[in-house]
């Protein structure tokens, strides 16, 4: 009997606790819905330190706290879809125009209604319906060992498939969004057959099976594993400004080529941000988008991440400015998503791990 009373008491206590917890959930949720909390939940697939530094500056100025939820872009979109109206996501941040377009198509975003964002970001780097805006651009270029390569042999992405580069080409795996979008751009520009020929040619010229990220390819050039690599511009900037002396020394030995200047132009991609469809803290989220695309936020981004800013009023390191003005591929970066499946198949057939 005593035992039963005790158990009954315990059950009552637990259910009171559960009810209290649920009420406080609902209260919290209501508060969020009302936008009273000084918080923004950022679902981000970007993995750069600089983002957190910019978020901290935003918090310092506005008192709005930023809570980052990290994952791959696919995971985050899937979670936002699954959680629907219950989602705590205010913003979705990712690299890659195709991914941003995918987020829009998945129905997890809503249009960003902000005159400031329209002023800050040229239309070419924004979704035409306003579902996302670019925050930076980056180009995928060729780098080479200055001591053993004549840059004239490196005029284009296609040149890398020639006999001259047998066993000399370094590049990361095909699971990288950067490579997937690059190949997708070739499918868009030249058709599937030419794109497949390119991938096969690169695989034939691999210095080693793909491993590591873009920076690791530079380290491999320094170690003479290969002579040329395909990589994103900002990683070169990061290495040239690194406190790590080995990275710095490796980067100093590199020459840079913006390929295809006489033909189809260099591949450029973006990083961007979208407003979640059910953003519980919409007003605060809009403030953050405006800060990130504004001249000061953009200057911080360019100075610390070495990506190109999208806001023409932003400042940037002189050498980064000197890289501007190259000829870009005439492709709609958001539209590249339509070629992703084909790109994956081509990589697989070509044996590009
Ligand atoms: Fe990156």
**41 and 126 together in one domain:** yes
On whether residue 114 sits in a domain, the answer given is yes
The answer as to whether 11 is a domain residue is: no
**Residue 296, Cβ neighbours under 10 Å: how many?**
17
Q: Tell me how far the alpha carbon of residue 15 lies from the centroid of ligand 1, in angstroms.
A: 48
Ligand 1 centroid to residue 176 C-alpha, Å: 9
**256 DSSP β-pair partners:** 143
Interval between CA 92 and ligand 1 midpoint (Å)? 17
The answer to whether residue 342 is domain-embedded is: yes
Domain of residue 334: give its range: 139-267+330-350
Same structural domain, 200 and 291: no
Does residue 13 belong to any structural domain of this protein?
no
> Under 8 Å CB-to-CB from 112, ≥6 apart: which residues?
130, 131, 132, 133, 274, 275, 286, 289
* 67's tokens: 């809570």
Q: How far is the CA of 320 from the centre of ligand 1 (A)?
A: 17
Q: Any bridge partners for residue 275, and if so which?
A: 91, 110
User: Ligand 1 mean position to 86 CA, how many Å?
Assistant: 30
50 and 154 inside one domain? no
Between the CA of 14 and the centroid of ligand 1 the distance, in Å, is 47
Q: How far is the CA of 47 from the centre of ligand 1 (A)?
A: 7
The radius of gyration of the chain's CA atoms, rounded to the nearest angstrom, is: 24
Ligand 1 centroid distance, CA of 44 (Å): 13
Alpha carbon of 4 to ligand 1 centroid (Å): 61
pLDDT at 5: 41
pLDDT digits (tens, 9 = 90+) for 34-56: 446 899 999 999 989 899 999 99
- Give the separation between CA 196 and CA 66, rounded to whole angstroms: 43
Please give the distance, rounded to the nearest whole angstrom, from the Cα atom of residue 108 to the centre of ligand 1.
24
Whether residue 295 sits in one domain with residue 344: no
* Residue 2, domain member (yes or no): no
List b or e across 24-34, with b for residues whose CB sees 16 or more CB atoms inside 10 angstroms: eeeeeeeebee
Distance 33 CA to ligand 1 centre (A): 34
In this structure, the answer to whether residues 243 and 334 fall within a common structural domain is yes
Cα(232) to centroid(ligand 1), Å: 7
Q: How many CA atoms lie within 13 A of 71 on its CB side?
A: 13
pLDDT score at 36: 60
CATH of the domain at 219: 3.40.190.10
Residues 51 and 73 in one domain: yes
Q: Is residue 31 included in any domain, yes or no?
A: no
For ligand 1, the distance from its centroid to the CA atom of residue 281, given in whole angstroms, is: 28
Question: In this structure, are residues 103 and 92 in contact, taking their beta carbons and an 8 Å threshold?
Answer: yes
Distance CA 258, CA 341 (A): 27
Rounded to a whole number, what is the distance in angstroms from the first to the last CA of the chain? 67
CB 242 within 8 A of CB 251: yes
Q: Are residues 106 and 53 in the same domain?
A: yes
183 occurs within a structural domain = yes
One domain for residues 172 and 315: no
Compute, in angstroms, the gap from residue 349 CA to the centroid of ligand 1.
26
Ligand 1 centroid to residue 134 C-alpha, Å? 15
169 with 309, same domain?
Answer: no
In angstroms, what is the span from residue 229 Cα to ligand 1's centroid? 15
Phi (first) and psi of residue 65, to 5 degrees = -80, 145
How many domains in the chain?
2
Indicate if 91 and 77 belong to the same structural domain. Answer: yes
3 in a domain, yes or no? Answer: no
Q: Residue ranges of the chain with pLDDT lower than 70?
A: 1-36
Same domain, 155 and 227: yes
Within this chain, do residues 215 and 284 fall inside the same structural domain, yes or no? no
Residue 37: what pLDDT?
81
* CA–CA gap between residue 173 and residue 276 (Å, rounded): 31
Ligand 1 center from residue 233 Cα (angstroms):
9
d(C-alpha 293, C-alpha 272), whole Å: 10
pTM over 0.75: yes
* Residue 25 CA to ligand 1 centre (angstroms): 36
CB neighbours of 320 closer than 8 A, spacing ≥ 6?
237, 302, 306, 308
Kindly give the distance from the C-alpha atom of residue 37 to the centroid of ligand 1, in angstroms, as a whole number: 32
For residue 309, the CA-to-ligand 1 centroid distance in Å is 15
Q: How far, in Å, from the CA of 123 to the mean position of ligand 1?
A: 24
């Amino acid at each position: 009997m005593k035992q039963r009373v005790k158990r009954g008491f315990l059950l009552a206590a637990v259910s009171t606790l559960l009810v209290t917890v649920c009420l406080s959930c609902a209260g919290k949720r209501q508060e969020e819905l009302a936008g009273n909390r000084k918080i923004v939940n950022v679902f981000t697939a970007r993995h750069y330190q600089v983002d957190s530094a910019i978020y901290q500056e935003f918090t310092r100025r506005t008192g709005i706290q930023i809570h980052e939820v990290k994952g791959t872009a696919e995971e985050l979109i899937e979670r936002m879809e699954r959680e629907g109206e219950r989602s705590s996501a205010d913003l979705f941040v990712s690299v890659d125009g195709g991914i941003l377009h995918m987020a829009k198509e998945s129905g997890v975003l809503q249009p960003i209604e902000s005159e400031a964002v329209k002023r800050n970001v040229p239309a070419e780097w924004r979704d035409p319906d306003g579902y996302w805006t670019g925050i930076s651009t980056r180009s995928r270029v060729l780098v080479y060992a200055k001591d053993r390569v004549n840059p004239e042999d490196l005029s284009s992405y296609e040149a890398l498939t020639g006999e001259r580069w047998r066993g000399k080409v370094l590049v990361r795996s095909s699971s990288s969004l950067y490579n997937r979008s690059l190949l997708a751009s070739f499918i868009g520009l030249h058709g599937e057959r030419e794109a497949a020929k390119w991938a096969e040619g690169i695989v034939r010229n691999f210095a080693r099976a793909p491993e590591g990220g873009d920076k690791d390819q530079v380290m491999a050039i320094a170690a003479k594993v290969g002579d040329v690599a395909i990589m994103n511009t900002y990683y070169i900037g990061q290495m040239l400004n690194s406190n790590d002396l080995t990275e710095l020394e490796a980067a100093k030995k590199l020459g840079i080529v913006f390929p295809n200047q006489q033909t189809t132009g260099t591949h450029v991609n973006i990083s961007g941000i979208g407003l979640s469809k059910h953003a519980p803290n919409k007003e605060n989220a809009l403030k953050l988008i405006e800060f990130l695309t504004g001249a000061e936020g953009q200057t911080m981004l360019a100075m610390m991440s070495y990506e190109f800013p999208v806001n023409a009023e932003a400042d940037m390191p002189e050498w980064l400015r000197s890289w501007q003005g190259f000829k870009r591929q005439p492709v709609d970066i958001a539209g590249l998503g339509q070629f992703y499946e084909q790109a994956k198949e081509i990589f697989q057939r070509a044996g590009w791990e």
